[in-house]
Amino acid sequence: MPPSDGIALLKTTLAMVLAGGQGERLYPLTRDRAKPAVPFGAIYRIIDFTLSNCVNSNLRRIYVLTQYKSISLDQHLRLGWNIFNPELGEFLYTIPPQFRTSETWYRGTADAIYQNIYTLEQERPRRVLILSGDHVYKMDYSRMLRFHEERDADLTVACVEMPRERARQLGVMEIDADARIVGFEEKPADPRPVPGNPRAALVSMGVYVFRTETLVRSVVEDAKRNTAHDFGMNIIPDLVSRGRVFAFKFHDENRKEVQYWRDIGAIDTYYEANMDLVGADPLFNLYDRAWPIRTYQEQYPPVKTVFDGEEDAGRPLLNSLVAGGCVIAGGVVERSVLSYGVRVHARAKVEDAILMEGVDVGRGARVRRAIIDKDVIIPPGCRIGHDPDHDRRRFTVTEGGVVVVPKGMPVD
């Protein structure tokens, strides 16, 4: 395809980022913020990965559909993503529910689009790229758009191979030799294996390219039925049986041996995905200049480590991500992710933990396998993540054994 066609392809595509889910399985991290606005990887918010994919794909016409607890998400987008030039036809706008064709909040992903048909009418794109604001991955969407056009598809669904046990939580598809989807099932009890690999299934990444007319007809018809109003449960299975629906195999710009795509649905997934960043050879690479991940960065002084003369203050920082303004004053931090302005005092030890902005770890405190949300002050000598029974009485502890201390919670 000549370059000019490539540009036309991007200019006639509209991206709609679904950012309105309640994120109940991420509670209490979503107590005060929308899931896409949950801090991730020391300086990012989860939505930055999807938006960076858009910009790195040269797709610069974006609507973000917000809903619950959207203040911090909205602020983040205004401060960090105000980089589009409307004079060149580029934009990023957030749209809260308009109650134009409905008197309810979004009842599902398909309903979120149905309630925004007016926006599609105003923009009249040829195709719509539907994205989620809570996935971590690197993808060049222009490859998928080209694939969609070449197949003259009504719908193209991005897919990735996944171990079958994890596929039970996702949409699983079956394809023929031409990559046409011939079967699609959301959250199947027994996911159908990929031919030639009985342990893997082909799952939907929640990334869809629709011919605009197909999308509008599908969501309009769906709105008249009493369904879950969900793309995976209702729209895709329905279209598979009567339209041209293709699977686009994920081409990972992360360029590691194993493809990286994570749906940050639950706290354990969130925790693991953060930990995927801290290894010596991390599973997910934030340092590739060819695929920059953009965010909003506040002004902070440089990271400081202080040796206070005590014996065990030898290696203050190991295998960790540390944002600006952090001061490690005689404590030790290992395999952890620290957001802006965290303080770790003398003889304190932080291991395998995520500490969000402004957390203060007191002298001699111990934190292990924990997520400490914003502005929590951990008093001197306090232990978190060392005594599961005691932790369960005070905090949320996940199935995977990760302790979560909610934002601003007083700890004693």
Least CB distance to another protein at residue 220 (A): 5
The site string for another protein over 193-222 (x = CB under 8 A, - otherwise) reads: -----------------------xx--x--
In terms of CB distance, is 103 or 257 closer to another protein?
103
Task: Determine whether the annotation assigns residue 106 to a binding site.
Answer: yes
Tokens encoding 249 = 């195999």
Asked if 234 and 203 count as a contact pair (C-beta separation under 8 A), the reply is: no
Q: Considering beta carbons, is residue 103 or 152 the nearer one to another protein?
A: 103
**First-residue to last-residue Cα distance in the chain:** 63
Among 58, 117, 180, 377, binds another protein (CB under 8 A): 117
Which parts of 218-257 interact with another protein (CB under 8 A)? 220, 223-226
Is residue 187 within 8 A of residue 137, CB to CB? The reply is no
Q: How far is CA 227 from the centre of its chain?
A: 26
Distance CA 176, CA 182 (A): 7
Residue where the block lists tokens 């799952």: 203
By residue count, the chain amounts to 412
Segment lying near another protein (by CB under 8 A), choices 102-110, 148-156, 202-210, 397-405: 102-110
Q: Are 128 and 141 in contact (CB under 8 A)?
A: no
Pick 179 or 228: Cβ nearer another protein: 228
Distance CA 82, CA 85 (A): 9
79: left (phi over 0), alpha (psi -120 to 50) or beta: alpha
Which segment (61-69, 112-120, 284-292, 372-380) binds another protein by CB under 8 A? Answer: 112-120
Complex with another protein: residue 173 or 223, whichever CB lies closer: 223
100, 187, 255, 390: which one binds another protein (CB under 8 A): 100
**Cα 286 to Cα 292: distance, rounded to the nearest angstrom:** 7
Q: Whose Cβ is closer to another protein: residue 117's or residue 411's? A: 117
Binding residues for alpha-D-glucose 1-phosphate: 106, 171, 186-187, 204
Residue numbers of the site for another protein (CB under 8 A)? Answer: 100-104, 117-118, 120-121, 216-217, 220, 223-226
